[in-house]
Structure 1
Amino acid sequence: MTRSTFGGLDDPRADHARRSRGAWLAGSAAGVLLLATLGPAAHAADLNDDGGGDVSAVVVNGKRNASAAQQVEAIGATNVLSADQIQRNPDQNVVDALARLPGVSVSPTDNMGSPSQGNHHGVDAAGRGEGSFVSLRGLNGAYNVNLLNGVNAAQGMPYSRQIELSLLPPVGLDRIVVSKTSTADMDGDAIGGTIDFRTPTGLDFKDPMTRIYVQAGLAQLPLRYGLKGGSGLAQAELARRFGADSRFGIYATAYYGKRNFASTMQDYQAGQWEHAISDGEQGSNPVGMDKSDNLLLTSLNAQFTRGQQKRYGAIASLDWEGERTTLYARGSFARSNIDQEVYQKSIQADGYSAGVLRPDGLYQNAEDDGEYHYWFETSPEVSELDSFQLGGQSKFGRLTVDYNAFYSWGENSAPDHAEITYQTDADHDLNGPFTVTYRDRYPIPQLTPAQLARLNDSRLFLVGEDSGEFTSSHSEQRKTGGRVDFHYDVDGDVLRDLAFGAKYVESRRETSSRDYSGLNPYPAGSTLADSPLINRTLGQTIKGVYPYALPIGDGAALTDLMAGLSKAQALSADDFNKNTMSGTEKVSSVYVLANLKLGVVEVQPGLRYEHTEIHDTFWNQVTNPDDSAGASAFASNRTTYDFVLPSVHANYRPDAETVVRASIWRSYVRPAFFQLAGGRRTTLNPDGSIDITEGNPNLKAISAVNYDVSYEHAGASGTQVMVGLFLKDLSNYLYDRGNTYRAQAVAQTGISSISRPENGGDPRVYGLEVSGRRQFTELQGWLGGLGVSGNLTLQRSKVDLKDPDTDSGMRMQGSPDLLYNASLFYDRDGLTASLAYRYGGPTLVSYRFGDYGGADLNEWQRATRTLDASVAYQFQSGLKLTLSASNLLNDYGYYRTVGRDSGTIPQLVSSGRNAFISAAYSF
């Protein structure tokens, strides 16, 4: 057998090999043997995995389980999720499904945001009750390459290179292939790994196939508040072969879904906490005192959010298979529209400091009063991810040529955001000390009956002056490109084959945000009780925690009101353009690799070269000494990167069921557009000096030397075991510094300082991955369907930020120490069931700097856990019914704190339990 030289498991460049009439065929970069019917027609037979491990079970004609072959035959560490595995579990989207794999962690928020991002992809996103971003081996989504059928997916996020994958529902996919090691024919900008979302094709099916899938669900938390909590999803798909000898194949699917959600939230904001004991009145943390144990919460923000998500899309492919040539056209469209409203009742006490001098000369801080606030905002989001490609493969004797051209478009926008604020006057504020206790992680203010009565009286809340705001933000990226790959089958005793190729990708990024603030929708003295926006009141903001009456209303009416007022406000050139940025990125690459076979040892050496040119345009805002606008104008910068990326993969295969792997390869990640050119502000000071805040086109790309060793065994009895070790030595770390850049004095005439992003030190990430699955088929009768599966990931990371305002040797952002999944399942005679537990360990999500920063006060996303259950039955008629439920223990969906071990300053989100019933019918 000759192994293919192509990159990942079942690489799209080898699609032609999968499609020959249901036989075993050589397909992927690993030379993986795949079975022809990997499409949804095989779903009924895909009953041999519960989704808790790292394998995909695929059965053709009920004769053989191919899950072992798929992973053991792979060149590098590879995980696969089949369509049946994805749909079997009660996951809202493909992100939550991926969290069931080893080395994969997910988050509802973008941990690598920007100073301008605010709650867009922050706590508001967490309130939607689903995962959105994927991290591989302790590295967030900016370190990954995401593909749609092998095509580079456009990155629509405004401030990072991540992709918000939550817009993809758990339907319409054939499988997801996660490659954790990279070969020379794969894109080099993947330190974490490569995730390829694969869709079926018409040639995957021997017989005509039509399938209808419907799902209905209920969310517990909105129902508790008397709100809509239903969800629904419908999908139709078909596949046909036609033409002479059935050489043509067509596949098409379309889906539409609607989901109502609600969450309760407790939020904290910058400036709303301080040191409980300080060396001066509201001063610094005393020397020798643990900062995380010396925190004082100075405000409380009790929140409730509700909303609706609509997801719809379509996938289509047309394939032709000739004797020596195959051709294809594939397209996909996925869109998500989120309408979300956020309501807040708060006690803002941070402006009422009351420090008391202690006998030791330190100050005991407190708040002697607080203001009552009400806040209502909309938090909409529009996401889209589309792709289209034309390609094929031609054979000329021993030479095989693969080629394609593609286009991808991605959007992630926050359009038509509106907000309004009300607050009580001084006579109706707290009018007393602000003190809190804690219960179930929530801060509980100690209110008298009179204080609570005022907080619950909407007649006392007056519309604030200039309290209205309207913003509209848009971000998109377009990618076009093409590639050609040559594979020459040498079939020698040692050298089996050679491959070489070239690829070109050009990206265009555009982002803008316009803010119309200081709007006055109502006359002074108007009360919350009189607001036409409000149409009902919740008895409690968070039941059992905050008995604060919470008026809620019409988000669309609020948006229309503020949008109308914004039309009368003329923005200055600076305000209109300051958040506008565009850029192009051109990446050219070539590679060569070989496959060598030395007995039972396979060696694949490879070399890749990538050249990148980035050109960005942004607004340079110039401010005169009197704070008036200066000679502002658009400016531009240019950045280039060149990387030579060698790789060596070696596999030892003592038998067909076992493989021992060792790999070493180099990879890199380019900085985000925002870091290179995130707008410039030039301030001309009265003394003639100049201060500059800007992006940094001289940032170095993050590079890494990656090491990977693993043992994998998949026995004929169904027992599967994998143990792997990985190490990533990175250089030139890039990190999110929060709401400021590093300021550096510049030895240049007339310039006093430049604040801009800077590279950090050289981090290291290393870890252990273990996974296993065992079905006790040797047991008699129905007991033979019982089984267990699970995986465990231990990770460690360390980095010196090389920033004088913080500590050295801290954890990397987004890198949890511990992840695990455990599942008890049943699989026999058409009945499948599972009880699955998932745990994600604490993760550092934001560094803090200065006196209110350092390792003790970094912000952490605390451990999350969920217990899910599902049961399904496959009828011989082609009907499959599934019942499932998520978050059975009603755990918090998101828990973030200042300090890893302190709960004084918490951010909590609870979304409750969810239940689903689905039916699929194939005919």
Structure 2
Amino acid sequence: MQSPAFAATRAGPSDTTAATIDAAAIAPDTDDGKETGNTDIVIDGKLRARRQAQTDQLASGSLATIVSGEELRAQPQQNLADLLTRLPGVSSSVDQGYNAAATGEAQYVTIRGLDSSYNAYQFDGVRIAQTNANNRAISMNLLSPFALAEVRVDKAPTAAQDGDAIAGVLDFRTASPFSLPNHYLQVRAQGQVNGRAAARDQDYLGGTAQVETAQQFGDFGIYASAYYGQKNVYGEAVTMHKDYIKYNKNIPGDIRDNLDNAFGRGVAWNVYQNDIKRFGGTVNLEWRSDALNLYSRTTYGEYRLKSWMDQTAIRVVGLSSGQVNPNPGGGDYNADGYAAIYGTGASNYFRTEHSNQRLVTSKLGGDLRLSDKAVVDFYGAYSRGKTEYPFRLQAKYQTPAYIGGTNTGTATFRLVTKAADPIAPHVVLDSAANSYLTNFANFQEVYSIVQFEHVTEAKGEGAVNFTYTLADEGLSAIRAGLKYESADRDSNGINEALEYDFSGANIPTLDKAPGTRVNDFMHGGAQIPLYIYDHDYIEGQARQLSLSKLATVDPNVLNQQKQDGTEQRFSAYLLANLKFGGLEIVPGVRFERNRFEATYWQTESDKSGSVGHFATSTKSYDQWLPSLIASYRPSDTMVYRASVRKSYTRPPFGLLVGPTTIAYDTQLIDNKPVRKIVGMTVPNPDLKATEAWNVDGSVEFAGAGSDFFSTALYYKRLSNVWFATSTDTTLVGISKPGDDAVVLSSNDSSGKGTVYGIEVFARYGLKNLPGLLDGLGIQANLTLQRADATIPITNNLRAKRRMPNAPQVMFNAELYYDHGPVSAWVSYNYTGNKLIDVRTPQPDTYLQPTSLLNLSATYTIGKRLTVGASLQNLLNASNYWATYGEKQTLLSVDRSGGYIETGRTYLLNLAYRM
């Protein structure tokens, strides 16, 4: 289903034959070069743009949604993932494993109940390089709306498009110089204020500037744009400090089987400072003649994030010498089997998640008219992406355990966590405990660790397509094509090898560390004062003590995370177009052969110890993908559609092959750091490609003016299902026994699933309103869906689970006003709860529902200058709330996000056209 309210006139490039071939349904799906001739629509004709969108919708050969760059840029958000959630059937997700939720932006887009790993991503028809090791999702961080002419979401693509798109195809398109007026020039500027940062006396200002131009010189045209944006975002979070344990260990089963028996072990309070920069540009060249069109389009984008997290916590810590745990065996349970935790401490933890992401795509191609009936189009393309974390720092200060009394002998003070308010839990403290745990002189530095990692992929592809038109009725056209892709990937990183542990008599204490205390905190504050280190101090210390160890690290350690790989894909397809009056039928078949080869460091153990060496693995997938699309148009204002197709999703490199990764936790016990293994992830070279049969149907109707109504139904049947999400990778865990079990995680592709849902869209302009009320309208869309799969939870248990990042309810509503030079709108977005992580023996992780209310208004002065203002998140709602289990009762731990707020954002917009 396509939402016309977000569509615009087709301003796409001329590198296809859509405007010249009668069989529009089988025209190339990459870059639609249709010229509308209505350039004033792009400039100042909002209503005419909506009407043109309706025409495009009804004429489309497949189920798709198009949103224009102008419509995107009119919204308060600058992040594409958040912007696209306004479309029916589209939601967003975020990777809190890297603190990304605290930026106030989502990173990934999901379609119709499937995680973004099930999408295919294109930039001007070119497959985007992938830089995530454990899934095939593409981060929207790199794709600024300031660089785009439109975004097309194809939910039921034809056989002419890539087949690894169970959810759909997202194509991000830049402008053609011939779709804009000659000598076109536009400058945009936007200023921002982050309200939460301003309230906390932190950096709060930001802004964006963009310039674009289109110039035509006869048959030759050039389009160029450039943008730069910077903003500061301040976030606050409350989380549980560690996973829950049973309150009564005599009750059988895991914690996930009885959430009422969960017992918390402390609370953490986090503040996040984020400095976000985006910049990039586009240069598109085109040359047109009667028989031959040629084009070149190149886009570069970069996203730079400086992210600092400061955390205070009240938590369980190990006892020191002279302190005695009265529980049997010194454990966490008393003689009756109830939780009784002795050893309460406080910590101050610091982490950076600085990251750089880069993406360049370049495409060179054209189309050639061989005759009145035959056209061939062709292209070669290159895409290169890199994601790196060049300096991930972790440092921690921690108090020795507090046990009550004189703090020696048998412990009497227990760690008890209360959560009457699920988003403001607290630890029960007496005056003596509070005095001890809030004295920064008691906080001793435990460790300083520097880590780094990167993933790079360079992808080349080439394609040729041939279209032959036969007649107006019956078999009207045929289309065939070939495509070849080859991608080279490399990744590496280092985890714990650069850890510096503090010991001896002169351990630094927190009261001597330079920094500032936070002046306030959400929902009643934190029990331990929040302290923000001086960044230069803490990062300089890490470079001196931790990073300096790099020169003496065993060379084999530097190879342990190294992985190189090559992936190749060959595809071919054949389509036909059949016309019988108002009925069009497009049968097609596609074949794709995938092959990959990866080299990685393999460690093997024997009696003499561990031996490491590089190992190589190969794997291939062959897929036959038939499809059938039918469209019936009883009139110019209505269309019925139906489609059946087969599709698949390839497993990513990191889940198939590579080294075992280990997660650690370091505790201070008797003034000595003790490092524990808390989890391991093992790749599975036997993973299969997930396959799906997809059935889609819709009806769309255009009314008077820009009124539009549509309904779509969809069903997907999946086999070989594996859960690997765009957020923290969801793997099937097999846990070893123990209160703090080491979870060994490895993926499994034996699951089966179903997805079904309904999308409804309506836009209606209120009629016959008097005077200034003329121009009011309403718009809404609702998606109801279910996405479930039966997967192995442990070695012996298979169970049905909701598929990750698949909300069951998505709703958008907008009240808009367009009258003369004034445009204004109030928009509301609601996304229901969703599963984000399958765990065992702990409960699964869910995100609670999110809602967002935004206000925007613009005023056009003359025909060239437009000024406006926007307010994002009027209700000051949380942007992330993770819990264990579907209910709100059990707040999640730090790495899953907990409860996060980033406050309101105020924006001032200006655009000038020449």
TM-score by structure 1 length? 0.87
Establish whether residue 371 from structure 1 lines up as the match of residue 311 from structure 2.
no
User: What does residue 136 of structure 1 align with?
Assistant: 111
Matching residue within 244, 252, 269 for 2:224: 252
RMSD over aligned Cα atoms: 3.2
Describe the superposition over 1:590-625 as per-residue Cα deviations: whole angstroms up to 9, x where unpaired: 001011101111000011000011101111012334
CA contact (8 A) 1:607 1:647 kept: yes
Displacement after TM superposition at 1:350 (Å):
6.9
CA distance in 2, matches of 1:419, 1:95: 29
User: What does residue 730 of structure 1 align with?
Assistant: 718
User: What does residue 812 of structure 1 align with?
Assistant: 803
User: What does residue 500 of structure 2 align with?
Assistant: 519
Displacement after TM superposition at 1:899 (Å):
0.7
CA contact (8 A) 2:9 2:42 kept: no
CA distance in 1, matches of 2:194, 2:505: 40
Establish whether residue 671 from structure 1 lines up as the match of residue 651 from structure 2.
yes
CA distance in 2, matches of 1:589, 1:33: 24
The 3-state SS of whatever aligns with 1:810 is: strand
Matching residue within 236, 241, 256 for 1:264: 236
CA distance in 2, matches of 1:472, 1:145: 28
Unaligned runs of 5+ in 2: 1-7, 320-324, 663-679, 737-743, 893-897
CA contact (8 A) 1:14 1:28 kept: no
Matching residue within 393, 401, 411 for 2:386: 411
CA contact (8 A) 2:571 2:592 kept: yes
CA distance in 2, matches of 1:899, 1:79: 34
The 3-state SS of whatever aligns with 2:709 is: strand
Establish whether residue 830 from structure 1 lines up as the match of residue 818 from structure 2.
no
CA contact (8 A) 1:315 1:332 kept: yes
Compared CA separation, residues 38 and 391, structure 1 to 2 (3 A): farther
Matching residue within 780, 784, 787 for 1:797: 787
Establish whether residue 562 from structure 1 lines up as the match of residue 542 from structure 2.
yes
Q: Give the stretch that moved more between structures: 162-171 or 775-784.
A: 775-784
Establish whether residue 572 from structure 1 lines up as the match of residue 554 from structure 2.
yes
Q: Give the stretch that moved more between structures: 612-621 or 434-443.
A: 434-443
CA distance in 1, matches of 2:257, 2:732: 26
Matching residue within 397, 422, 432 for 2:397: 422
CA contact (8 A) 2:88 2:759 kept: yes
CA contact (8 A) 2:188 2:912 kept: yes
User: What does residue 334 of structure 1 align with?
Assistant: 301
Compared CA separation, residues 348 and 360, structure 1 to 2 (3 A): closer
Q: Give the stretch that moved more between structures: 181-190 or 66-75.
A: 66-75
CA contact (8 A) 1:594 1:604 kept: yes
Describe the superposition over 1:692-749 as per-residue Cα deviations: whole angstroms up to 9, x where unpaired: 985233211001000001111112332211101000101100114968766799xxxx
Q: Give the stretch that moved more between structures: 363-372 or 81-90.
A: 363-372
The 3-state SS of whatever aligns with 2:36 is: coil
Unaligned runs of 5+ in 1: 1-7, 49-56, 60-64, 111-118, 683-691, 746-753
- Pairing 1:896-915 to 2, within 5 Å after superposition: 896-906=882-892, 907-915=898-906
The 3-state SS of whatever aligns with 1:918 is: strand
- Counterpart residue type for residue 154 of structure 2: S
- Pairing 1:617-766 to 2, within 5 Å after superposition: 617-625=599-607, 628-630=609-611, 632-679=612-659, 694-736=682-724, 756-766=746-756
Establish whether residue 274 from structure 1 lines up as the match of residue 245 from structure 2.
yes
User: What does residue 278 of structure 2 align with?
Assistant: 311
- Counterpart residue type for residue 46 of structure 2: L
- Pairing 1:106-255 to 2, within 5 Å after superposition: 106-109=92-95, 119-120=97-98, 124-242=99-217, 246-255=218-227
Compared CA separation, residues 547 and 220, structure 1 to 2 (3 A): farther
Establish whether residue 593 from structure 1 lines up as the match of residue 575 from structure 2.
yes
Q: Give the stretch that moved more between structures: 567-576 or 427-436.
A: 427-436
User: What does residue 437 of structure 1 align with?
Assistant: 418
Displacement after TM superposition at 1:645 (Å):
0.5
Displacement after TM superposition at 1:208 (Å):
1.1
- Counterpart residue type for residue 894 of structure 1: Y
User: What does residue 36 of structure 2 align with?
Assistant: 36
CA distance in 1, matches of 2:721, 2:11: 31
CA distance in 1, matches of 2:19, 2:147: 19
Describe the superposition over 1:534-592 as per-residue Cα deviations: whole angstroms up to 9, x where unpaired: 33221445462315322213335433432343233422344222211111100000001
Compared CA separation, residues 521 and 277, structure 1 to 2 (3 A): closer
CA distance in 2, matches of 1:507, 1:30: 20
Compared CA separation, residues 290 and 504, structure 1 to 2 (3 A): closer
CA distance in 2, matches of 1:9, 1:240: 19
Compared CA separation, residues 28 and 878, structure 1 to 2 (3 A): farther
CA distance in 2, matches of 1:354, 1:151: 65
Compared CA separation, residues 46 and 894, structure 1 to 2 (3 A): farther
Q: Give the stretch that moved more between structures: 616-625 or 581-590.
A: 616-625
Displacement after TM superposition at 1:881 (Å):
1.0
Describe the superposition over 1:203-250 as per-residue Cα deviations: whole angstroms up to 9, x where unpaired: 1123211111000011111111100111110111111001xxx11110
- Counterpart residue type for residue 875 of structure 2: L
CA distance in 2, matches of 1:344, 1:835: 36
User: What does residue 486 of structure 1 align with?
Assistant: 466
CA contact (8 A) 2:627 2:646 kept: yes
Compared CA separation, residues 844 and 719, structure 1 to 2 (3 A): same
CA distance in 1, matches of 2:197, 2:661: 44
User: What does residue 310 of structure 2 align with?
Assistant: 343
Displacement after TM superposition at 1:365 (Å):
1.8
CA contact (8 A) 1:184 1:593 kept: yes
- Counterpart residue type for residue 136 of structure 1: I
Compared CA separation, residues 38 and 884, structure 1 to 2 (3 A): farther
CA contact (8 A) 2:135 2:654 kept: yes
The 3-state SS of whatever aligns with 2:259 is: coil
The 3-state SS of whatever aligns with 1:426 is: coil
Between the two proteins, the alignment pairs up a number of residues equal to 854
The 3-state SS of whatever aligns with 1:403 is: strand
The 3-state SS of whatever aligns with 1:459 is: helix
Calculate percent identity across the aligned residue pairs: 27
CA distance in 2, matches of 1:27, 1:94: 27
Displacement after TM superposition at 1:780 (Å):
3.1
- Pairing 1:883-902 to 2, within 5 Å after superposition: 883-902=869-888
Establish whether residue 858 from structure 1 lines up as the match of residue 839 from structure 2.
no
- Counterpart residue type for residue 371 of structure 1: G
CA distance in 2, matches of 1:832, 1:524: 67
Compared CA separation, residues 128 and 469, structure 1 to 2 (3 A): same
Compared CA separation, residues 180 and 25, structure 1 to 2 (3 A): closer
Describe the superposition over 1:256-282 as per-residue Cα deviations: whole angstroms up to 9, x where unpaired: 11110110012345x5311122217xx
- Pairing 1:93-104 to 2, within 5 Å after superposition: 93-104=79-90
CA distance in 2, matches of 1:891, 1:351: 38
Displacement after TM superposition at 1:874 (Å):
2.0
Displacement after TM superposition at 1:160 (Å):
1.5
CA distance in 1, matches of 2:307, 2:754: 39
User: What does residue 384 of structure 1 align with?
Assistant: 358
CA distance in 1, matches of 2:565, 2:31: 38
User: What does residue 767 of structure 1 align with?
Assistant: 757
The 3-state SS of whatever aligns with 1:331 is: strand
User: What does residue 749 of structure 1 align with?
Assistant: none
The 3-state SS of whatever aligns with 2:549 is: coil
Describe the superposition over 1:97-118 as per-residue Cα deviations: whole angstroms up to 9, x where unpaired: 10000110101227xxxxxxxx
Establish whether residue 45 from structure 1 lines up as the match of residue 31 from structure 2.
no
CA contact (8 A) 2:313 2:528 kept: no
CA contact (8 A) 1:146 1:153 kept: yes
Compared CA separation, residues 774 and 415, structure 1 to 2 (3 A): same
CA distance in 1, matches of 2:29, 2:64: 11
User: What does residue 686 of structure 1 align with?
Assistant: none
- Counterpart residue type for residue 776 of structure 2: L
TM-score by structure 2 length? 0.88
